[in-house]
Amino acid sequence: MSDSLPKLKTDLEYLIEKTWNLYVTVTDFQAQSQPRVDQVLNEIIGLLKDVDQMKGQFQEIQIPGQLLNYVDDLKNPQMFTRDCLQRTLERNEEINGKNETLAKFADTLAVELSSQFPNQMTEYRLWKAKPSSVDQ
């Protein structure tokens, strides 16, 4: 696969170039342009066949659907990674904040329970400190 990737890249770039050439020729079409249009179309068909023949070498590559949405929305696909990392960092900060809040709540709850139920909390702390038979 690693040998085929540069060839695929080159073929796709050439395909884009040929498609652009066809667009330019057809936009300003004149009867004498027909042989050139036919030639470019045949080149495009050949390139598409080459790309189609290579598809078996890329079966294990998986592309996230969100990345395809980026391309469909005319966004730079390289920005996909940056945006994913940004969302991950934001979510990480959110989760860390929730964890901090829960830890503070647990500490406050332990203090309040100790003041209201000192004997039960002492037993709880001893039970919690004792190694369980599952861990051994």
Q: What is the mean pLDDT of residues 74-85?
A: 89
- Distances in Å between the Cα of 88 and the Cα atoms of 23, 67, 100 are 41, 16, 18
Q: What is the mean pLDDT of residues 76-105?
A: 94
Query: For the chain, what are the domain ranges?
Result: 1-61, 62-136
Nearest in space to 87 (alpha carbons), one of 72, 69, 63, 66 = 66
pTM: 0.49
Q: pLDDT tens for residues 4-27?
A: 888 888 999 999 999 998 998 888
Query: Between 89 and 26, whose confidence is greater?
Result: 89
Q: pLDDT tens for residues 105-133?
A: 999 999 999 999 999 999 999 998 888 76
Q: Rounded to whole angstroms, how far apart are CA atoms 74 and 78? A: 12
Nearest in space to 88 (alpha carbons), one of 73, 69, 110, 66 = 66
Do residues 77 and 71 lie in contact, with contact meaning Cβ atoms separated by under 8 Å? Answer: yes
Q: pLDDT tens for residues 45-62?
A: 999 999 999 888 888 888
| Residue in this structure with the two tokens 């599952």, named with its chain if needed | 134
Say yes or no to pLDDT of 134 above 80: no
Phi and psi angles of residue 134, each rounded to the nearest 5 degrees, phi first: -70, -35
Phi and psi angles of residue 68, each rounded to the nearest 5 degrees, phi first: -65, -35
* Per-residue confidence (pLDDT) for residue 43, from 0 to 100: 92
* Per-residue confidence (pLDDT) for residue 1, from 0 to 100: 55
